[in-house]
Every structure is written in C-alpha cells, then in structure tokens.
C-alpha cells in the first residue's frame, strides 16, 4: 500500500496515513489536487484527505475534488489533533512577530492566537511545512503551529503545547483508491445529490432515509459553480449501499432528485482499543 498525503513529513495527514497502515509507503504531495492526481496516475494506491475538523469545520475543497475526480472512498480515519507553538531553539515568546500555519491550524487555535498582541498571523499551505520553513530560513522572529513530530523532525523547540481551542480537537480523513475495494466491511456510505428548487424538495429527499431508519451522520451543502444559488448536498449515511434498506432509499431518492452519485461504501473508523 502506498498512500499519498498533502504536506511534508511531520504533517497530520502523514500521521493519519500511518493510522491506516503503519507499514505503508508514504508519498508527500504539495496540494490536495496532487493527492488525487497521484492516485489517478497510479503513483499511489490510495490517497488520504482531511474532510472535517471538530473545531474548524469542513475542508470544502476536498468535497469539490471528490466530485471532480472519479476515485471511490474506501475508508476513513479519525486523528486527535494536538497543536504546538514551534520556534527555533532558544527563542522566547516575546520575540515572536509572526505565526505561520495552515488556515485550519490557525482556526483551531484562534483563542490562543488572540493572546499574542501585535503578532502577524500568516496562512500557509501546510502545518509541518511551516515548521520546515522556520528551520530552512533560520527564522528567529517567527513561530509555526504544527505537530510534536514536526518539531522533532526539524530540530525545533516547542514553546507552548496543546494550544488548540478544545482538548477534543479531532480531524476526520477520507481514504480514496483507484479501485472500489473498501478497507474492511462497509457500514457507511457517502453520496452527493441535487434537488429541484421548490418547496419541500430537501425534506422529501431526506425522508427516504428517515422512512427506513437510516441515520445521516453528516449533511453538507456546496454551491454549484455554474448555477447561481443552487446547491449540491453531500450526505454520510450509516449504512452500506448494498444493504437492502440503503439500496431502496437510493433508488427512491433517484425518483425525484435530478442527480445522485455514490462516492463509495466503506468501514466507519473504530479507534484502536
């Protein structure tokens, strides 16, 4: 198994990939788009992508990319996220003029960042990449928000640990593959659908699942770019699409939803005991 992830060594996506398979070969990629392309071009067997965080919310770009690329979801993983303020060795808090991190990392530490008076907050493409930049450029007036592993890899100091706003900070990742082979027994399905612009249309769409006691664990709307103020609806169902209840619900939905697409059925994440 070779898993593509966005970021550099020390990224949270790398840690999530190792939760999937600690023996996996890992392929770092500069962007989420490159993760999809690596699997498309068979440079990797799987790709791992953050999709939502308990503080920062949804990573919308990855929902858009799921629709753009025909790669099935084959699994998921949840990773507790512990953010740290990382600096060059010997630096003190009063010396910091800038803090770098991925926008999600910054959003998840908003409360802590508000305590830093006069400090510029700078968004970057990656948490671990921000730590690498501190190291490579020998920045003596800047800090990064990143993982403990990133600090170890790049020989940096942790000035403040666990600076996320909530102790239970967790990110959910989706695993995509070239082939539709789930990484275990599937019990969860992700779909996207549209509804007509009329009263009760969304209620009718969701009722097909309620009538069959299928739990929706997530519902997310995204704009359709070429159709102003019309929306796609992404939903996670607590059922395998081959389960008779789920398959009948999807057929029922297709009767009045202009479009329905199933991204895949896969095993829901179970924390290691």
Cα–Cα distance, 21 to 1 (Å, whole number): 8
d(CA 104, CA 173): 14
Which residues are designated catalytic?
171, 173
Same domain, residue pair 117 and 240: no
Within this chain, do residues 173 and 76 fall inside the same structural domain, yes or no?
yes
Q: Is the pLDDT of residue 84 over 80?
A: yes
pTM: 0.91
Angle at 96 between CA 93 and CA 97, to 5 degrees: 150
Cα within 13 Å of Cα(103), Cβ side:
7
CB contact at 8 A, 127 and 7: yes
pLDDT of residue 272: 74
**Of 129, 148, 177, which residue sits at a domain end?**
177
Whether 69 is in a domain gets the answer yes
Domain assignment present for residue 182? The answer is no
Residue 98 sits in the same domain as residue 60: no
* pLDDT above 70 coverage of the chain, percent: 100
| Average pLDDT for 55-67 | 92
Structural domain includes residue 272: no
Range of the domain at 95: 84-161
Return d(Cα 262, Cα 259) in angstroms, integer. 10
Domain match, 262 and 192 both: yes
Domain total in the chain: 3
Q: Are residues 61 and 173 in the same domain?
A: yes
| Residues 71 and 173 grouped into a single domain | yes
19 and 47, same domain (yes or no): yes
Q: What pLDDT was estimated at residue 206?
A: 96
Percent of the chain past pLDDT 90, that is, above it, reads 91
- Classify residue 121 as exposed, middle or buried by CB count within 10 Å of its CB (0-12, 13-18, 19+): middle
Q: Is 273 contained in some domain?
A: no
Residue 76 CA to residue 243 CA, distance in Å, equals: 19
- How far apart CA 75 and CA 240 sit, in angstroms, is 12
CATH classification at residue 39: 3.40.190.10
**Does 183 reside within a domain?**
no
pLDDT at 237 (0 to 100): 98
Q: What is the structure's pLDDT at 122? A: 96
Asked whether residue 244 carries a pLDDT value surpassing 70, the answer given is yes
Confidence of residue 273 (pLDDT cuts 50, 70, 90): low
pLDDT digits (tens, 9 = 90+) for 183-224: 999 999 999 999 998 899 999 999 999 999 999 999 999 999
Residue 251 is assigned to a structural domain of this protein = yes
Do 15 and 133 belong to one domain?
Answer: no
Give the mean model confidence (pLDDT) for residues 2-14: 95
């Amino acid at each position: 198994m070779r898993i593509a992830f966005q970021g550099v060594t020390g990224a949270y996506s790398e840690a999530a990939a190792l939760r999937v398979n600690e023996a996996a070969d890992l392929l770092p990629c500069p962007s989420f788009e490159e993760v999809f392309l690596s699997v498309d071009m068979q440079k990797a067997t799987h790709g791992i992508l953050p999709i939502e965080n308990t503080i920062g919310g949804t990573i919308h770009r990855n929902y858009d990319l799921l629709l753009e690329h025909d790669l099935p979801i084959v699994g998921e993983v949840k990773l507790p996220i512990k953010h740290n303020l990382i600096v060059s060795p010997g630096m003190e808090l009063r010396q910091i003029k800038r803090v770098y991190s991925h926008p999600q990392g910054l959003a998840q530490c908003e409360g802590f960042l508000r305590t830093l008076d006069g400090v510029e907050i700078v968004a970057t493409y990656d948490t671990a990449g921000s730590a690498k930049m501190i190291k490579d450029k020998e920045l003596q007036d800047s800090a990064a928000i990143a993982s403990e592993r990133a600090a170890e890899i790049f020989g940096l100091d942790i000035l403040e640990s666990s600076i996320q706003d909530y102790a239970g900070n967790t990110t959910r990742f989706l695993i995509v593959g070239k082939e539709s082979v789930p990484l275990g027994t599937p019990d969860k399905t992700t779909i996207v659908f549209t509804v007509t612009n009329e009263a009760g249309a969304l209620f009718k769409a969701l009722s097909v699942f309620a009538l069959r006691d299928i739990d929706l664990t997530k519902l997310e709307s995204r704009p359709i770019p070429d159709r102003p103020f019309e929306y796609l609806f992404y939903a996670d169902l607590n059922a395998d699409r081959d389960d008779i209840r789920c398959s009948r619900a999807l057929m029922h939905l297709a009767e009045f939803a202009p479009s329905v697409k199933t991204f895949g059925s896969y095993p829901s994440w179970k924390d290691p005991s």
